Amino acid sequence: ISKPYEEKPWGYYYKFFITNKRIDDGIIFWKKYQPTLKEAERIYGVPAEIIVAILGIETSYGKNAGQYPVLQSLSTLAFDYPKRSAFFKSELEQYLLLTREQHLLASKMKGSYAGAIGIPQFISSSYRNFAVDFDKAGKIDLLNNIPNAIGSIANYFKIHGWKKHNQSIIFNAF
C-alpha cells in the first residue's frame, strides 16, 4: 500500500502483462464470451478489447481473484494505515453492506491485498454502485459470473465518462 504497483511506469509492467500465455488466454476468453462482449459494447460503448484487457490484467480472465481475506485487509487498512484511513473505513463499511445485501459471509471472501474483490477486482463501493446483472439472472454476482463482470466493467467505464466518438475512443476520467 505504501508503495503501490500502480505508480510504476508501463515499461515495468509490460513483461508481466504482455506474454504469450496471457495473449492466448485472452483470445480464448474473447472467443468464448464474444456475444456478451458485443452486447456490452453495444449498450455501453466500451470496446470488447478494453474489457478483455481489464479482465486479463486484473484477474487473468477470472482465474485469480485474490487470496487475501477481504475483511482482514480492509480492517487492517482502515485502522492501521492512517494515510488512507478514511477511504478504507468507508470501503469497510461498503463491504459489510455488500456482504449483507448479497448474502455472503464477510469473513470468508478473498480478494486483493487492498480489498478489491471478484472477477473485475472492484472495490466494495464500486461493486455496490456500478455492478450490473448483465445476464438478467436476477442477481449481481461478480465473484463467479463472467457476463456480470463484463457488463459491470463496461457500465463502470460509461458512468465514469467513457465516450465513443467517430471510431476513436476517448476516456474522460476527470
99 closest CA partner among 86, 84, 117: 117
Quote the CA–CA distance of 64 and 49 in Å, as a whole number. Answer: 20
Q: So which residues are the catalytic ones?
A: 58
CB contact at 8 A, 107 and 69: yes
Quote the CA–CA distance of 37 and 47 in Å, as a whole number. Answer: 8
C-alpha cell at 87: 477511504
